[in-house]
Amino acid sequence: MNDRFSALEVFVRVARAGSFSAVARETGYSQPSVSRIIHELETRVGVSLLTRTTRAVTLTEAGTEYLARAEAILADLDEADHAARGTGELRGLLRVGMSSSMATRTVLPRLALFTAPHPGLRVQFVLTDERQDLVTESIDVAVRVGPLADSTGAVAKKIGVMQRVLAASPAYLKRAGTPRKPADLESHALIVGLAARAQDAWTFEKSGRTLSIRVEGQLLVNGNDAVIASAVAGLGIASSGHLGFRGELDSGTLVQVLPQWKMGSADINVILPGGRAAKPSARAFAQFMATAFEDVLKNAR
């Protein structure tokens, strides 16, 4: 029976990842072993569940229906195990998606509070500033900042609001001067990260007055950690969420620019994938994140 459940777990991973090799790396199986497990499962079921090509692995029509039922079975089993233990202890693998900057600056320093009571739980972080596809990348729970795209019925819970701010190094401001109003930014070197790159302008508000400044960054970078590092290196003025700059602002490594003007804010959401029951560990992590961000944002005020 254990072999059947193991086969279902491997099948779900392959179906979501679209790759035998990716699942082999995640699970520790060899790629031939993953292929054999899927072949034996298809033989037992009596139909082809996956279509293999040289470029991708995709679900057949039968495989799509089988996947929905397999995920429900595994979720029910996970829930049953969790309830039977009666201790609240979480086990298994939990895949968490979020940005590298959020993980290193906000989540990982507090993660022991979540993992210490659950020694049987393995947490795997999938870190990128790009928006992950929770389904295809088998993400159990994600934390995202900013607008949410429609994601096949994903369940989102708002856990906070992050204010955007501008910051630059003292060395840069000494060299280039300190902006006194938003229009002054047009003569400065601007560092533009992934989130700001989709915008044509930075918008500012003060005393009911709103101004928009066209953003043409001298430096374009692909991750918030690089945005912060570039600002610390004196390469220009950067925009990030206030939590991203918090350590550098507190230490004086960076100085807030135009503090009297408010920039836009972005919602922080914890996301559970749609179309399948959430793991007990995913639900618990979502609650942990809600509590953690409540504390972090309160202390940041």
**Residue-range domains of the chain with CATH:** 1-86 (1.10.10.10), 92-301 (3.40.190.290)
CA distance 289 to 88: 18
- pLDDT (0 to 100) of residue 1: 43
> What is the model's pTM?
0.73
Q: Give the residue ranges of the chain where pLDDT is below 50.
A: 1, 198
What's the CA angle centered on 45, arms 39 and 48, to 5 degrees? 55
pLDDT at 145: 86
User: Do the Cβ atoms of 189 and 234 come closer than 8 Å?
Assistant: no
The C-alpha atoms of residue 199 and residue 222 are separated, in whole angstroms, by 14
The pLDDT assigned to 295 comes to 77
pLDDT of the residue at 54: 77
